[in-house]
Structure 1
């Protein structure tokens, strides 16, 4: 297999397919640090066949790093990764490589190469069985043949052409000529072609990093159904709550404080409920122990005070021996109670329950400098745009009011992002007119982070703003999106999710009164999403959002507009 394909699909095939078992992957005590920063701490788990696992945790906590370690793209500082013999894994990264010089057909043929190898191996075993002279040898070959043929059947070897057509249609890329260079595709098309190639490879373990980011509704639903029938195991990093509800049966969480792995049974809803119960129990047991410690310390103080001020008068009967014995007995008893209390305190402190960390409060609030007085903020009149012979938009008409909530949907490649660029003047109109209210100040969140990799976090945030660095640092930390130690990190050191948070912070700093959001939930971890959604819901101006996030749409509500065949259709109300 050519190495330029490895950034998308890493794989291993240590032996032929003998000995395939139920346990596919074992991870033991994985630890990873970058300098003084601990990312993964003593991570251990097992993945069995048919398990569907969602990997969650805050941005930058190490989810993608763990996938890179599992695919040998990074080395752990400590620990072991053990794949069962003959087990193959496939990996889809968040950032899809360019595949220089390869066509779609090249990738597809490369992806099913393992099936061709299995087929060749089957034929070789058939010939060896036909020539076997000993029953023992025949039995051994037959056992190997049964294993290989089972794997060939499970991976769809007898229906390969049908499967290729099915996967391409399911991901809505069957319109692309197979001779087209992958390098010429859009980012979303590349991601879907990469996912198609990975699914066609049918590895035993699928490792997916945000696979739904570039999929429309129909493609996400198709992927959910496809994975439900998948014969292997799945480990997926995803922010898509609906997808996690429908596609997984376990949740693995990387904790941002201890950097350790916690495991939960069930889908995303079950995980959220379990976390609530866990938090309540943690807070209760911590409080109980704090009260116990407080009582013990109080008792120790009282015993010490009593011991220091205890005095006895002269014996009444001049019996000094009896008197001294009485005093000694009292002192011994007091000392014994003190030692017992101190010992109990040490035991409790040695097994202290850590204080529950504060729940992250993200203050993602927009504060426009000026509200819009116009009843109509944006008017599109007969908008048209074409690229070469391809007509992307034709006679698009719309009016956006001051309090509008518009959810802009449509299949990939229909022109949604282009429409945003036309509104902002980043692309030139072929025909038509865009009219924007004079007081309108547009804030734009692009689909993919567009940041200078060499600038620091604080440099990026304060760019084009007037003020002191301390002021900007305090404001950025106040959002709850970054910590003080993040300020001097370079953008290139950030995960995609952290870059997304930085862009959100930049967006809020611009004080817009109109929001154009292109797939705003992409790359954002689940702990940030709800706060960001809350900020959008309470934004005082119009919001137009391109999104395929079903959970987000239900929460935001508003009008659903669809781009189809170059025109804008305004059919339904979301919710």
Structure 2
């Protein structure tokens, strides 16, 4: 066992997040943590890394077990260059290697009676060194950087000059090179392109240690995971399911169907017992025997006593049965979350909504793209793909007139109401949920609360929480609610599935497919890509190219 967790509990004020969480992690476990946004998935990882303290319970790593943690938000890195981070990451391997050399020297010079102890330590150290890839560390560095699409960056490059996605991938690379016994990963695929995600899945499949990962990526959970931990939003407890995400979904469906059947059967039994109690009480009140033929009063009294005793015995038995059931009833299966992420807008009338003509854009000496030509019609469905850092987000900013092109023209029809979902949540952390949702809309607070609750994304108790108290996934849901309230007739979606929990994701994807106006989406989510019906355009090496929508997977695989 690498990690043992016993009865961990965590609350924030009156809000219970985790309750009585217990599990064990062994070597080669590949565990995915799922559950609604805000249910405590990231909190659990922070507790296991000591960044937060539990209110109760305990956890313990086995002796000499090392863990490594990748948070959902990219942290600040201590090193000034990429190579600094790499060397810091492999420092433990260098220490193991140095200790091996010291032991080899000692074994060649020590007395025979001390040799056994040195041999035992050498065996332990060399095993760790081998399992963590120490004998091929230089090759391992090149492999990881290439797999995460970082090999184009000079290792002398300052970390501070990297894009957000590049920083996130450098952080993941450093963690993988550290090669801990337990990997704790919070949404590791958010900043990976298609090829890098496939590489990471393969890498984790053969990883020497254990992996505990929070992820909303259904393909990743299907390919890289062999066990699912679900944190229940009602009881705040953890349940374990064997297999990948598809197996988990099927198990949950079977589980719910069985619970629903048992609940309905018990409800029928309760109704039947109550009916039987009413009947027996009525019978007891009507019990009366006429006088016996021999006018024997003693016999008549005996008959009445016997009948009443029998009736009372039956009534007591039925009442006791009902009491036992009602003392510990089968709970009603919780209602499935109904998310109403529907955009109540009319399609845009203009046949040409956004037009880019010979557009070029760069920053400093770097040209992102040149001579870009694109026209969005009233019904356009366009998936914009390409490697990280190619300029896809910048292209979105041009369409919103937040940036100006260096050359060319961007034309947007006056009737266009452009709704933009950014790649990262960007809300004011000091405002509360309802004020953030209503922003500059006019109306009564009760009206906005009713509308926001009606989406199925938040509950009444969430309305006055500060945005800073929300998880990234909850902030993402709030941005989606704001987007729907804005009533756009054009959608620009930058990695729309990032941070959204699986219970909301499919409903949101359906609303995107049903949107009546033009939609442009940037995405590396393979599930989303496979179900997105529309044109596929790739921005790569400064050139925007349209591809046939027959195989996005082949296109992404070509980036390797």
TM-score under structure 1 length normalisation: 0.94
Distance in 1 (alpha carbons) for counterparts of 2:121 and 2:22: 32
* Residues 1:70 and 2:48 aligned together: yes
Q: Are 1:90 and 1:198, in contact at CA under 8 Å, matched by a contact in 2?
A: yes
Measured after TM superposition, the shift of residue 438 of structure 1 is 2.6
Distance 1:139 1:306 in 2: 89
**Shift of residue 537, structure 1, vs aligned partner:** 0.2
Aligned length: 551
CA contact (8 A) 2:79 2:85 kept: no
Q: Displacement, 1:29?
A: 0.9
CA distance in 2, matches of 1:458, 1:295: 47
1:278 positional shift: 0.9
Q: In 1, distance between residues paired with 2:328 and 2:117?
A: 56
Aligned 1:172-251 pairs, distance under 5 A:
172-251=149-228
Are positions 1:279 and 2:250 aligned together? no
Structure 2 counterpart of 1:49: 27
When structure 1 is superposed on structure 2, of 25-34 and 542-551 the one drifting more is 25-34
Please report how far the alpha carbon of residue 101 of structure 1 lies from its aligned counterpart in structure 2 after TM superposition.
Answer: 6.0
Post-superposition offset of 1:132:
4.2
Correspondence for 1:106: 84
From 87, 90, 108, the equivalent of 1:130 is 108
1:376 partner SS: coil
**Shift of residue 375 of structure 1?**
1.5
Shift of 1:554: 1.1
Tell me what 1:491 maps to: 467
Unaligned runs of 5+ in 2: 552-560
Alignment check: 8 A CA contact 2:289 2:300 kept: no
Question: In the alignment, what sits opposite 1:359?
Answer: 336
Alpha-carbon offset, residue 312 of structure 1: 2.9
Aligned 8 A contact 1:100 1:182 in 2: no
Work out the CA distance in 1 between the residues paired with 2:305 and 2:118.
88
The SS at the match of 2:260 is: helix
Structure 1 residue 140 displacement after superposition: 3.3
Q: Deviations over 1:138-183 (max 9, x none)?
A: 3333222212111101111111111111111111112222222222
- Does the aligned pair in 2 maintain the 1:56–1:237 contact within 8 Å? yes
Who is 1:460 aligned against?
A: 436
- Cα distance in 1 between the residues matched to 2:456 and 2:214: 23
Q: Is the 8 A contact 1:557 1:574 kept in 2?
A: no
Distance in 1 of aligned mates of 2:324 and 2:218: 43
Instruction: Provide structure 1 residue ranges, at least 5 long, that are not aligned to the other structure.
Output: 1-22
State how far apart, in whole Å, the 2-side matches of 1:374 and 1:308 are.
Answer: 80
Equivalence for 2:71: 93
Structure 2: how far apart are the matches of 1:171 and 1:432?
Answer: 34
1:133-172 aligned at under 5 Å gives the runs: 133-135=111-113, 137-172=114-149
Say yes or no: does 1:398 pair with 2:374: yes
* Cα distance in 1 for residues equivalent to 2:337 and 2:220: 24
* Preserved CA contact (<8 Å) 1:559 1:574: no
The aligned runs of 1:415-434 (5 Å cut-off) are 415-434=391-410
Q: Which position in structure 1 is the counterpart of 2:554? A: none
Deviation string for 1:173-201 (max 9, x for gaps)?
12222222222221111110100000000
- Per the alignment, in what secondary structure is the counterpart of residue 211 of structure 2? strand
Q: Distance in 2 between matches of 1:128 and 1:351?
A: 68
* TM-score, normalisation: structure 2: 0.96
User: What secondary structure does 1:573 align onto?
Assistant: coil
State the partner residue of 1:380.
356
Q: What residue is the counterpart of 2:272 in the other structure? A: 295
Counterpart Cα distance in 2 of 1:219 and 1:541: 32
Cα distance in 1 for residues equivalent to 2:515 and 2:132: 49
Q: Distance in 2 between matches of 1:101 and 1:174?
A: 18
Of 477, 482, 491, the residue aligned with 2:458 is 482
Distance 2:101 2:301 in 1: 101
